[in-house]
A and B are shown apart, each in its own frame.
Chain A
């Protein structure tokens, strides 16, 4: 790490946003800044934000891609409401991001892109950088990134156009200087990625990064430097992890703990594809991966493999869930263990495929025909995806049932530091395989879990038939009305009893008071921050964040009753609120948002205050 040689202002946390064209490498520099901050010992939360088009026309508003992160010496739960520093690579990035930058915020601009054509594409009649009012409003730092980068790379053998493409790392280097970030993780990244295949590229990017950093040293307007100290964290080994990565690792860990082969079957869909891609790379860990011909097939392959004894998983997003519904019903009636991950995105239909939303809760709960309740879990942060994946597998195998695991785009693509668990400390998952020495009755149930035992094809003497037609306890097809009612109730009861295995609710704040905030999924960071702040200010507010959406916690109803008001913020139009009202007959307040963006801490705080005063 290059040692700082001038004075720093010590700050608790900072929010930095990079914005540019889809091809400008903004996601890459955001990820690198994240790695560097993790290496520096900060807590972090990130928000990648990119368009659905892979390469929208250059320079247009549609093509703007952004990456925001917050890092701090305190616990960081969200990527931040608004940036303290904004780096923009072109006029379109400025136009679509500037409204979020508070007055006085640092604005780093790649000035050489502010030419007439780019300004026109972004919808500017005049260059905003020439407006005196604008210039005074922000702490403006104008850099000719293309020119500076080309100059820095003058001695390299790259073509001029390739040199210019390294400008994102020049900008990154400059921001590293401002926030005193270590360069090592990024230099290592260049080395790992290109040293062997494209050594000239590794060298050029290193040069650009260092040149950007060194420019800061000589640049008068960058004299304000900041220092963010290490966060006080539990001892252990840490790494940065995204939600989708954590699902992948959680599933592999669970398969080892359950002593079943992991079979993953999926179909590419944003934002769940990284689960398919991630697991495809883990053959060394015994993972079998099938890219099926469609979402339905992905579910069918998983179900067939479950019947044959594997730990089966499929992952998709909302549209894929629609297609899988009929098969999920079959998995329910045949009582086979299986995990269905839904990484939610904006809907309905194609909706907002690269923006976040939590609007598939009711779909997860009710999308099947017939009375067909299923266990439903939701992960609340990137690292929580690991624990939720393991919990989902525990439930699926212990209770012999398909399980829906909800994540969302914000959790899936965001990343944070994760204290890596020790594999040996993770709980074992017990299978209930049938014995060849006993008579096999397919739907005979464990008295506590109500789970049936599973006989695997290949087991001698346990040949049996399962299928979509209703069965009696012995597995024979039964059209008996009483039997259908009994089996329907048993399947529902089996899901209900899962709540007996839950840990007590984790309440932030007092267990009674004026306002209870109930959240689920990716809103955890924003809700916890807002509630934490209000508690510090002396308000009577508490929050609880639900991992289990079905069954709900046994003590949730009672907890709700101890508060004067209950409010449910969610990134939909009130889906959990509907469930809570129906189940507990409590008049909960629904606070919904469907803009494809996470809640800001400020907007939640304001809303909670409305109900506290």
Chain B
């Protein structure tokens, strides 16, 4: 047993591990080939201990890493008990800990000079294509994994002694629509994980593996203590909130209602999220993997408390997530499809969880973030007539969805609750260069914010279509009926919507889940969900309302009717009239 590690060394070593995961993330970001990776930053890197506990995470998509990598690392060990330096494993099985099949993950065991497995490095990246039966990585209507069509890799060895297993590479190249892009992304993941391995080996040699083992446990204890401290700031209580995913083919007509019951126990220093009371798995691609069900609940909790609590296996000890087997948001059984597990239903778990905490504890929690995936964030594909090459890529043109918070307005471009806003938004020029599309407009839609003392996001409004030839756009847009709700008196954010604009400039309604084919001259219109507001709109600082009006986000009429703020002819707050109106409104 190594010496007890003091607070100084604890800080030093945690910085070192974080630095290593950051370095992995930088490598992945800079070298990836698909837009979803190198533009939308839909990837994550983390470090797990030899006993599969999450130790360090670079700034990564929340839905990717809180829970899941632990299960994946355990699967790797179970299937390959004799791990050797130079091994690498490809993992995307939602039945074995991966988030969803589109998230190819490279796992690399870090083996010390004596052959002992010390850590596992994980680099996960959403792929542009994974060989699904249709050209999208979110096959929302797939009845099961067979209709979904993804190649599933339950921790399959792809490198031995640092050499690729070209059999597997060739299999992927035969099935994945953009084989060169996939190969580039695969190399980027391998590179990231190998860089992490190299650094960690150096760290182990420098400080000693025993010291690192001791560090792991104390780091978890420290993080747990911070978590307890954060939970003790909240009052005791329990609340149940629901959130309903709009109906799509394969779901009941009324959609899928998710119920989350949150119980806060400050004395015990624990938060429980109960997801047991939910529908069975559905014959569609929306079911959650176990990783996403757990993580979504945890995202809801971490969004609600002191953000500086470290996210690792130590703080996780203080969150209990209750899941049921074969539930739409529980533990799925093969061949249930989990194609869109990171987004749609996952959001319907995280949102009511954070909203429930807001209802229990004023000054904590978060309103609901908007749902996705609208057409402006869909997968576009087709044949590029100018180059003769097929293309398929997810675009990130216009999305918002941020929720009002206890002390601040939303972060507009949160993307969706499981993304945390890390996602980039595409450059119009870059998108028009990469594929033959034309983006007519991308702007904020007026009067669409989730009004509150602190406001949720406005909708992003986008129109785009093919510049030449045909364009297929695949999307699964939730939130057209069930928009993001506000909390503590805050109003809901605007709902999503989409329609086609014909060459004659006529509107044609489109379903919320489809693959739409457009010809040159036609456009698709996409409106993203806004986000819910936190607190009553009539409590909002009148100067903030005046600024929103001046900036042309909010009409003077809405300022009056929703916020109770009266502006004079030059847009300044009429304080007396505002006080009077607000008194009347709250009477």
Q: Do A and B come from one complex?
A: no
> B: which residues have CB within 8 A of A?
none
> A: which residues have CB within 8 A of B?
none
